[in-house]
């Protein structure tokens, strides 16, 4: 993974774990890599990884078993998908609607273009 400058590294790492859960790389009760292994693998300060894991625990996405490590929480995938949908609706769809309205694009035109793009992406 290449880290960018557009957001703090711990948030990028958090997002990476979330995406691993969403895509099925990690399932309920799967063990996550240790803080030490992630820090060494990505050449990060262990505190950076710990911050990402702390946020994931606070969000209910992962849990810790003392002495055993971190695990994916039950319903983590469903909760993450729901959270991402809400963010998408509030941010991206809202901005998209403003642009569509500003440009005077008809709804049926948008629907056709969107349908075509989704079909292309699913190939």
Across the range 94-105, mean pLDDT stands at 93
Exposed/middle/buried for 17, CB within 10 Å: 0-12, 13-18, 19+?
A: buried
14 and 70 part of one domain: yes
| Residue range 26-69, pLDDT digits in tens | 999 999 999 999 999 999 999 999 999 999 999 999 999 999 99
pTM strictly above 0.85 = no
Q: What is the pLDDT of residue 123?
A: 85
Residues 63, 14 within the same domain: yes
Please give the tally of structural domains in the chain: 2
The 8 Å CB, 24+ separation contacts for 60-65 are 61/17, 61/18, 61/21, 62/17, 62/32
- Return mean pLDDT, the chain: 95
Parent domain of 23: 9-74
- The pLDDT, as a whole number, for residue 2 is 83
The pLDDT > 90 percentage for the chain reads 93
């Amino acid at each position: 993974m290449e880290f960018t400058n557009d957001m703090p590294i711990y948030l990028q790492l958090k997002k990476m774990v979330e995406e691993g859960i969403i895509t099925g790389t990690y399932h309920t009760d799967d063990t996550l890599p240790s803080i030490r292994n992630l820090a060494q693998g990505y050449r990060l300060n262990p505190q950076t990884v710990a911050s990402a894991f702390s946020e994931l625990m606070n969000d209910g996405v992962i849990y810790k078993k003392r002495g055993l490590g971190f695990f994916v929480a039950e319903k983590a995938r469903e909760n993450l998908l729901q959270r991402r949908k809400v963010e998408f609706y509030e941010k991206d769809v809202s901005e998209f609607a403003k642009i569509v309205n500003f440009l005077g694009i008809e709804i049926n035109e948008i629907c056709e273009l969107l349908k075509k793009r989704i079909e292309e992406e699913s190939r």
